[in-house]
Structure 1
Amino acid sequence: MKNGRPAAVLGGIAVALTSQHALAQSSVTLGGMTDISMRYLTNDDAQNNGRLFMTNGAVINSHFGLRGTEDLGHGRKAVFDVENNFNPRDGSPGDNGRLFDSQAYVGLAGQYGTLTFGRQNTPMFDQLISTYDPLTYANYPENSWLPYALGAGLAADNAMKYSGQFGGMYVGAFYSFGSNYESTGASGFSGQIPGHPGAGTMYALLASYSKGSLSMAAGMQQVGDNSSDKQSLVHANMAYACGQTRVYAGYLRSRDNTGLVDTLLAEQPVPDVSQMKNTNRTDDGPYAGLSWKANGPLSLSGAFYFDHMRNATTGVNTTGSGNRYTVVALAEYLFSKRTEVYGTVDFNKVSGAAGVELPGRSDQTGVAIGLRNFF
């Protein structure tokens, strides 16, 4: 780590938390996961060449973090969570170089729910990874396009979040004063602009209910850029368990006038984001899948993701309609409660305006094998 600064910061945090532990009943947990895989992709450039490479693991990136609570009495407690993504193939931090790029928040929890402040996952992301996505959170970047792009990244800076669990009912509410501090300018999402309190903001609402084998959820999100153009999303999700098998289905619908969805999905050159604004791009994205857990260490999962888009940017002042779908199969084998090996195969196909979403031909196949360890 350059100049030892991240290590010094973590050391300072540890010392402070140790001192706090001596003054009040509290707990601090260090945990995370290291996951790395070998992956092969077909048609991975404009010349349709294949590529074999080592990469961060499938499903959720490698990460580590500190999570803690302090008992305040009367059923209340203070909570915090700081979490950092990293690349085990070279030891570098997450893609944007932040120290705690995944989550960094503090808050209060009690019998009526939890209120937290800082960089956080959206309620939709929390529910997808825990209940409603057959692959936890899609898969590699080639396959996570549906929730990631339509969900505006599924995490935000400068956020307030309320989470409440009341029996089988979950309620989540979320508001960000500026969802990405690094993205500045008229087309950015940094927000907090004097005289324009609605610019760059993001809000979300979600409710879910689980009873017995059935779980259902519905919600919405809206993010605005610094010019107050909006991208809006509604979603509905369902999961049903039958013995060792779990079935999933969901639907996401996005309407975007910020250019964000076009920007996140493009794998080929597209116009400047300022030329992709106010096109009223609309995406309809159903998905389905299932998972099966054997009595032994083996589990199998499969997923199908689809997107029908309209008014998608394909060139300067040019938009069109198109389709994209992804099929993914995943097999996991547990060596222990903390260590597993996995293999996955995925296939992407695009047509029409979706052609810019793959780097070469209109299809791409990926194969990978990986190893992960939780700590």
Structure 2
Amino acid sequence: MKKKHVIYSAVILAITADNAQAQSNVTLYGLIDSGINYVTNTQTGRNANGTLNGKSSVSMSDGGVHGMFGSRWGLKGTEELGGGLKAIFTLESGFGANNGALAQGGAMFGRQAFVGLTGRAGTVTVGRQYDITGDFLGPISPAMLAGISGCLPGDVDGLGRSRRINNTIKYVSPTYRGMSFGAMYAPGGRTGDLTGSQVWALAANYTLEDFSFAAGYFNARDPNLSAFGNNPNSPGAASNNMGSIGSPTAAQVNPIFAGYASAHTYETYSAGASYAIGHATLGLVYSHVAFKALGDLNAGPNPFGYTGTAIFNNGTATLTYLLAPDASVGLSYTYTHGGGVAGHEGSTYHQLTAAARYFLSKRTELYALGTYQIAHGTDSLGQPAVANIELLSASSTNHQFAARAGIVHRF
């Protein structure tokens, strides 16, 4: 009798699953971005006397390394619930196209993993999601030209959408007369500290014909853990998830702000606008970034004994031009000035990126891009600032050039 009951239950579950599937819509999607990179002055380590070693390199790489896009695949779906309300979900995994390895620290769905509801009142989603300021301002930043390759050094303001936040509740309003807004909150969940590792952000935009304006605010407590250290292989507060000081055999990582891992709070203010004139589109963005209350060892290490606040003021200008329905070119300039901390003059970074894209079809495109960066001053590691194009190994000098030719296929 018990066996019959188990079989009967299994049949009922199967029928229920079939009915649910019939009422829902699930889509498999993704893209593969692969190409060839050439990089000058790639840092390889440090000599016994403290000077940096470096050399040029040529390599095959995934689009997540100085490319237009990071390779990914995902599943997304909707279910009609009635009255204009839908259930939605997205599961998205990043991977290396050249070796098949999982990206985002080995997370199975490290790019996105969320579920929610959408309807006339807006959309609410819960899970691992992009920072909402990147959602609203990314489309008018240099990311619209060359993906994350054109963003600020270290993607210091997050508008290159290089960071995702775990345990996030996000709301995005419907668009009303060209205006929409959104908010997100992640509680953090540190025992005994209600605000420890919490993240919250606000963003809004307004569009009128060819003009668009967007603004956002982002705030993360213990950013070394909450904003930069939220992948499966990310260590705790005793380690630096923002970067590294390097070694005799390893390059430095994010020397732009790696020294600020002990910040109690990381916050950004950003605003930008874009305007389309014929086939040309101009985008301008300003962002203010602060690593505040340095010296909090519950957040991260502080090998240089920093206190106070480190500030970055940034500006970007991007111009794209549509040569034909299937071809475009563009140019972007980014300026980053780090105010440094007491006893340091700070650092300044100038970066120029050029890109060209040609679509062989709606799903397949060829592209070429080049980025040049030059640095001045003293960086967060207390050394003469070195160039560090986002996602590439830091330079051994104050300048660096990277070029890439690649192909993207969407499915």
Query: Does the 8 Å CA contact 2:143/2:151 hold for their aligned counterparts?
Result: no
Q: Equivalent residue for 1:343?
A: 368
Scaled by the length of structure 1, the TM-score of the pair is 0.82
- State the Cα distance separating 1:293 from its structure 2 match: 1.1
Within 5 Å, give how 1:187-206 maps onto structure 2. 192-206=189-203
Secondary structure at the aligned position of 1:128 is classed as helix
Aligned mates of 1:166, 1:244 — CA distance in 2: 25
Aligned mates of 1:82, 1:36 — CA distance in 2: 22
Scaled by the length of structure 2, the TM-score of the pair is 0.75
The answer on 1:221 being equivalent to 2:218 is yes
- State the Cα distance separating 1:322 from its structure 2 match: 1.6
Q: Equivalent residue for 1:371?
A: 407
Query: Does the 8 Å CA contact 2:156/2:289 hold for their aligned counterparts?
Result: no
Within 5 Å, give how 1:326-341 maps onto structure 2. 326-341=351-366
Q: Equivalent residue for 2:26?
A: 28
Aligned equivalent of 2:103, options 79, 94, 98: 94
Within 5 Å, give how 1:64-83 maps onto structure 2. 64-83=73-92
Within 5 Å, give how 1:175-254 maps onto structure 2. 175-178=185-188, 192-225=189-222, 229-254=264-289
| TM-aligned CA distance change 1:80 to 1:56, over 3 Å | same
One-letter amino acid of the structure 2 residue matched with residue 39 of structure 1: N
- State the Cα distance separating 1:229 from its structure 2 match: 1.3
1:306-346 deviation digits (Å, cap 9, x = unpaired): 1011125xxxx963312001100000111100001111111
| TM-aligned CA distance change 1:364 to 1:24, over 3 Å | same
Aligned equivalent of 1:136, options 132, 144, 162: 144
Query: Does the 8 Å CA contact 1:339/1:374 hold for their aligned counterparts?
Result: yes
Query: Does the 8 Å CA contact 1:279/1:311 hold for their aligned counterparts?
Result: no
Aligned mates of 2:217, 2:292 — CA distance in 1: 16
Q: Equivalent residue for 1:303?
A: 332
Aligned equivalent of 1:149, options 147, 156, 159: 156
Q: Equivalent residue for 2:248?
A: none
One-letter amino acid of the structure 1 residue matched with residue 32 of structure 2: T
Q: Equivalent residue for 2:48?
A: none
| TM-aligned CA distance change 1:230 to 1:272, over 3 Å | closer
- State the Cα distance separating 1:20 from its structure 2 match: 5.5
How many corresponding residue pairs? 331
1:50-70 deviation digits (Å, cap 9, x = unpaired): 010111111220111000010
Question: Which stretch of the first structure deviates more once superposed, 20-29 or 320-329?
Answer: 20-29
Aligned equivalent of 2:346, options 313, 316, 321: 321
Aligned mates of 2:346, 2:34 — CA distance in 1: 36
Aligned equivalent of 2:312, options 269, 280, 283: 283
Query: Does the 8 Å CA contact 1:258/1:277 hold for their aligned counterparts?
Result: no
1:104-161 deviation digits (Å, cap 9, x = unpaired): 00011110100110000111121234x31243285455x4345732339532001000
| TM-aligned CA distance change 1:259 to 1:91, over 3 Å | farther
Q: Equivalent residue for 2:179?
A: 169
Q: Equivalent residue for 1:263?
A: none
Aligned mates of 1:330, 1:364 — CA distance in 2: 17
Q: Larger Rg: 1 or 2?
A: 2
Secondary structure at the aligned position of 1:19 is classed as helix
Q: Equivalent residue for 2:54?
A: 48
Aligned mates of 2:215, 2:32 — CA distance in 1: 32
Aligned mates of 2:145, 2:165 — CA distance in 1: 17
- Higher RCO (CA 8 Å, separation ≥ 6 residues): 2
The percent identity for this pair of structures is 28
One-letter amino acid of the structure 1 residue matched with residue 372 of structure 2: F
Gaps of 5+ in 1: 1-14, 179-191, 261-270
Secondary structure at the aligned position of 1:320 is classed as coil
| TM-aligned CA distance change 1:234 to 1:162, over 3 Å | same
Aligned mates of 1:208, 1:300 — CA distance in 2: 26
- State the Cα distance separating 1:273 from its structure 2 match: 4.0
1:15-64 deviation digits (Å, cap 9, x = unpaired): 99x93564552111110100001000000013331010111111220111
One-letter amino acid of the structure 2 residue matched with residue 205 of structure 1: L
Aligned mates of 1:362, 1:229 — CA distance in 2: 29
One-letter amino acid of the structure 1 residue matched with residue 60 of structure 2: M
| TM-aligned CA distance change 1:276 to 1:42, over 3 Å | farther
Aligned mates of 1:28, 1:322 — CA distance in 2: 48
Secondary structure at the aligned position of 1:150 is classed as coil
Q: Equivalent residue for 1:360?
A: 396
Q: Equivalent residue for 2:321?
A: 292
Aligned mates of 1:101, 1:273 — CA distance in 2: 28
1:270-300 deviation digits (Å, cap 9, x = unpaired): x944646543000000100111112242111
| TM-aligned CA distance change 1:203 to 1:22, over 3 Å | closer
Aligned mates of 1:31, 1:121 — CA distance in 2: 18
Aligned mates of 2:346, 2:81 — CA distance in 1: 55
Query: Does the 8 Å CA contact 1:128/1:137 hold for their aligned counterparts?
Result: no
